[in-house]
Amino acid sequence: MTSAALSLLASTNAAALESGFYMGAVGGQTSIDIDKGEYDRFERYPNSTNFSSTLEDSDTGFGLYFGGQFGRWFAVEAQLVDLGKYTYKATQTRPNLFGSAPRNVDVRSESSTEAAVGTVSGLLTVPVGEQVAIGLRLGFSVSAAENRYEYEERRGNSVVYSESFDNDAEASDVSATYGVSLEWDPARHFGMRLEYQRFNDVGAEDDDYDYIEHDDEDEHGGSDVDLISLSLIARF
């Protein structure tokens, strides 16, 4: 009886990475590769005092994916992932340009971006025993980013000037995505995956409003976003 149970378990494990379709739910932490100093240089007035700034460059990412495993060594996968929100804030005091009392003006500015990405990738799955596989991902992605900018000037308790503007989320140029993962499939229809993935040039567009407004790395202004995630997989 014990021998039969072990044989059944072995056959179940052996089939864990074989051909078939699957879907998964993913969640983890995202971080954006941007230079806070680039923002500071843009926002800071040359003659300002009391300058202070913060950058929230990480958030929670989550999404879904659907794929097909073709043999134990190769899979094709489509993803849709919400990358979260990133926010830069700055405050400073500058002389009143109009020279009226009080002479100083308190300035507050804020830039924020929310982004999502869709991908199609090929995965090389290298089996390590019957239940575990190392995955190498390479594919392409299309992202959408919604940006908002707010600016306010105060003298004392009174707002003397303010403005805000945003752009609608639009599809970006096609960019690359790649990553490495460790997958554990303890049963035929269930698995877990730990993965590091990078999305290149998120929000890179040909228009005049870029994902990262003050990023001069290239003409499109896109930035790289990393995702470290854990996902649950259901196999059909």
Q: What percent of the chain has pLDDT over 90?
A: 58
- According to CATH, what is the number of the domain 2-93+112-147+167-235? 2.40.160.20
The sign of the torsion formed by the CA atoms of 213, 215, 219, 225 equals negative
Sketch the domain layout of the chain as residue ranges.
Answer: 2-93+112-147+167-235
Taking only the tens place, the pLDDT of each residue in 107-150 is 999 999 899 999 999 999 999 988 999 999 999 999 988 889 99
For residue 49, which amino acid is it? T
Q: With beta carbons less than 8 A apart as the criterion, state whether 135 and 180 touch.
A: yes
Q: With beta carbons less than 8 A apart as the criterion, state whether 164 and 147 touch.
A: no
Q: Which of 64, 57, 56, 61 is nearest to 29 (CA)?
A: 61
Tell me the whole-structure pTM to 2 decimals.
Answer: 0.81
Asked whether residue 12 carries a pLDDT value surpassing 60, the answer given is no
pLDDT at 104: 85
Q: Which of 92, 88, 27, 86 is nearest to 61 (CA)?
A: 27
Q: What is the average pLDDT value for the chain, to the nearest integer?
A: 84
Taking only the tens place, the pLDDT of each residue in 32-90 is 998 899 899 999 988 888 999 999 999 999 999 999 999 989 999 999 999 999 999 99
Q: Tell me the β-bridge partners of 158.
A: 155
